[in-house]
Structure 1
């Protein structure tokens, strides 16, 4: 699966890079937090970042209005999706509170998709974008592809993704990023042992 990288300008914080490499919008939302086990990096640091993410994700054509409480809701949904996907990956039971939060978000009307004079048009507010994201996560977690959820093996990456490789042996969230870094580190380590 090809990685899609979208660079956005974020007022005070500079550039924010969003990547859509997980194979599911819910996992891509969870992936807006990197390095979860140390040095945590949050790409949705402010309401403007979240508004831009909805457009970058292809959910809406225009950034929606986002308040601080909307950002907090999106962060709770993101963490619920991450925990649910981790439970699916490890074969654990889903946490009831996380499942209910996902279902509540999915229960809102999703983002609208219509064919306009110039092509596809996507519209709605933030709740609609989060509903579409939650629905994608629910379809993944409730279907057969839940067994294909993996966590990137590159340290310190903690990105979750769907392993759609032919043999189900994919080890990294993105070959061009984490995969290349891991292979380069292994090559350097072999060179040190031979020298």
Structure 2
């Protein structure tokens, strides 16, 4: 079975959280094995969110230990961002954890393709965790938290950033269309009942 990832947030930390989704009322993890995590990272590289040089040139070092640590990070990020999306303040222990990940792979910088990219100094695992932690802390520190929202579909667990105040869904293509179709079905059934009662 091929794993499908959805990248709607533009932020690797939110995209990591959104590797868990609800399907038929059950939480499904898109990162079920090391090969899924390797594919997720490669996809982010191909999209330009990361560059190969940030990982010492290789993503072939993904194993169960790396996957396990990424899932711990994902759980901390979910706690941090859900609390923030609900109007709370970021839990200090979550911020401390992210800062620890940055200390485990301090950053140097490299100029590439007209931009300055952070390059963690550490193992593949430490580098990956550091880059995701950096992205999450940037969301926390530059005022982006006010734009953090839960999807308007009550059956969806995804989060997204929006500063227009107009967006309601993680993705119009996914949840927006589902909710519109659901409302249309309810409305149509109501009209059918009215016609049959005449």
TM-score range, shorter chain: 0.7 to 0.9
| Greater Rg over alpha carbons, structure | 2
* Residue correspondence of structure 1 range 106-185 to structure 2 within 5 A: 106-107=102-103, 108-109=105-106, 115=112, 125-164=124-163, 166=164, 168-185=165-182
- TM-score normalised to the size of structure 1? 0.79
SS at match of 2:62: coil
What is residue 32 of structure 1 aligned with on the other side? 19
The CA distance in 1 between the partners of 2:4 and 2:96, in whole Å, is: 30
Written as runs of structure 1 = structure 2, the 5 A alignment for 1:40-59 is: 40-58=27-45, 59=50
User: What stretches of structure 2 of length at least 5 have no aligned partner?
Assistant: 53-57, 193-198
Q: Does 1:102 pair with 2:98?
A: yes
How far apart, CA to CA, are the structure 1 residues paired with 2:13 and 2:90? Answer: 16
Q: In angstroms, what is the RMSD of aligned CA positions?
A: 2.5
SS in 2 for 1:150: strand
TM-score w.r.t. length of structure 2: 0.78
Hey, which of these two has a bigger chunk of helix by percent? 2
* Local SS of the residue matching 1:156: coil
Determine helix, strand or coil for the equivalent of 1:19.
Answer: coil
Q: Which runs of 5+ in 1 are unaligned?
A: 1-13
User: 2:6 is matched with which residue?
Assistant: 19
> Offset at 1:143?
2.3
